[in-house]
Amino acid sequence: MIPAHIEENLRMFRKETYEILGAKEHTELKEKKQDGKVNLICTAQGELLIFPSPEEHVLPYLDGQKKGTNACADKFLFKLDQESGTWDLHIMEFKKTIDTSAIGKSQWQFTMGIYNARAIAGFLGIEVRDIYLYSGFRNDKLTGNQSLITLRVSNNRDAIKKIQQWKEDKYVLRVDGESRVFPHQKIQLDNEGNGNISI
């Protein structure tokens, strides 16, 4: 059960901006962009509080005229740990194709997603324990012809770091003025953008 004080604060939110799932319930996490539609079936392994469109609700205090301030990840999922009363934050970003450019953009969207998700958590009274990142994609250009990829990025240390992080399932993000390592999970989608995940 979601704690009463969080449910009380949630009543101040517009109902279409969040969804609550109980254990073994599922929902469809969608992305409607024409060139990269996604329909990810998410099954809850415990109590989940989902914000399906945070990129449409970034902090209004931020100066939208400054580059990157309106960036945000595609989905926030808070999972309650009943024993401790703390929550794990799961952040998803969808890309049609993964390459070094997409990784760079995703990493910034994840960073801004963390800040925006923590703002929501602070308002609701949610204590965030751990943060997990997910990338949903159809095409992966980084696991193809390795010699060709290596040749292209051999003089670009930044690109090499991005590829290494992608392969090692972790992203290093600068959060709160320091570099932090976050676990990162790949979600392979089919050609139509369909997939499944359990959280």
**What are the pLDDT digits (tens) for 34-51?**
677 899 999 999 999 999
Half-sphere exposure of 84 (CA within 13 A, CB side): 11
User: Confidence band (pLDDT; 50, 70, 90) for 147?
Assistant: very low
**What are the pLDDT digits (tens) for 6-28?**
999 999 999 999 999 999 999 99
Helix (H, G, I), strand (E, B) or coil at 88: strand
Q: Which residue has the higher pLDDT, 124 or 156?
A: 124
Q: Do residues 109 and 115 lie in contact, with contact meaning Cβ atoms separated by under 8 Å?
A: no
Sequence-ordered strand ranges (E) for 59-159? 75-80, 87-98, 128-140
**What are the pLDDT digits (tens) for 65-86?**
999 999 999 999 999 999 999 9
Q: What is the pTM of this model?
A: 0.93
Alpha-carbon separation of residue 2 from 6, 22, 75, 180 (angstroms): 7, 10, 19, 29
- Show me where the domains of the chain are located: 4-198
The mean per-residue pLDDT over the stretch 165-182 comes to: 96
**What are the pLDDT digits (tens) for 105-118?**
999 999 999 999 99
